[in-house]
Structure 1
Amino acid sequence: MSVDVRIEQGRLARFLRLRGGIVERRLAMRTARVADIARAEAPGHMGEYLDWHIVEGARGLEGVITCDHPAVRFVIEGTRPHVIRPRRARALRFEVGGQVVFAAYARHPGTRPNPFLQRALRLGR
């Protein structure tokens, strides 16, 4: 699963469509700034899965920030409460208060959405 964020250039730059010129350099600086903010805002090691590049889109040059972490959708959109069951074993094993506990299933309370890419886009403009 991956998520893309696209940064489009302004109206004047769309008409110019300059590749390798000032327009592309400014777009690359802006995209890199937003990607750095997203790395800082990302939870855990998710920032290590962020990458950015400049592509030629239908409307001109676009800066694309991609996160390829397998759980990025669950972090951005959040999850509803759900039951966790063991896949390869007969029971789940975890620690509670320093003691090892085995259970046939666990009720996960769900997680709130963490739209760190949207925050980075807002802060990087």
Structure 2
Amino acid sequence: MAEIRIDWGAVDRMLRSPTGMVGRDLRRRADRAAASARRDAPGSMPSQIAGPAIGRRGGELSATITSRHPATVYVVNGTVPHIIRPVSRKALRFNVGGRTVFAKVVNHPGTRPNDFLTKALRTAI
């Protein structure tokens, strides 16, 4: 009768190490989910919602998807109509129809929810 010996250290490394079989599989799935989320994310958001991490003039939300971004909750859940005021400047600056516009206050109409992350995770599975 053959004796089977299990190297529990090797099993532990396989299951817990980022370079082990499970860690590599999780990284592959996370990369697929992030790629899918980048494809499905809205093209751009106003910097007043997105915050400074996306850029003062707004920018591509999809370019920031590598881990959870603070603005993601507003995209996924949507927003109600709200007033936007400048925080660190005297006026807000944004582009409308190719023109640069300045305003002290903006009445934002709100946004519809876009649950692109759940869709991306379903695609990755």
Report TM bin, short chain. Answer: 0.5 to 0.7
- Structure 2 unaligned blocks of 5 or more: 1-10, 44-59
Higher strand residue share: 1
Structure possessing the higher radius of gyration over alpha carbons: 2
- TM-score, normalised via structure 1 length: 0.56
How many positions carry a matched residue from both structures? 96
Distance change >3 Å, CA 18–CA 108, structure 1 → 2 = closer
- State the superposition RMSD in angstroms: 3.4
Normalising by structure 2, report the TM-score.
0.56
Shift of 1:116: 1.2
- Identify the structure with the greater helix proportion: 2
What CA distance in whole angstroms lies between the structure 1 residues aligned with 2:81 and 2:23? 44
For 2:33, the equivalent position in structure 1 comes to 34
Partner of 1:117: 117
Give the match for residue 46 of structure 1. 61
**Residue 93 of structure 2 corresponds to residue 81 of structure 1:** no
Q: Say if 1:17 and 1:109 are closer, same or farther in 2 by CA, change over 3 A.
A: same
Please state how far the C-alpha of 1:17 moved relative to its aligned partner: 2.3
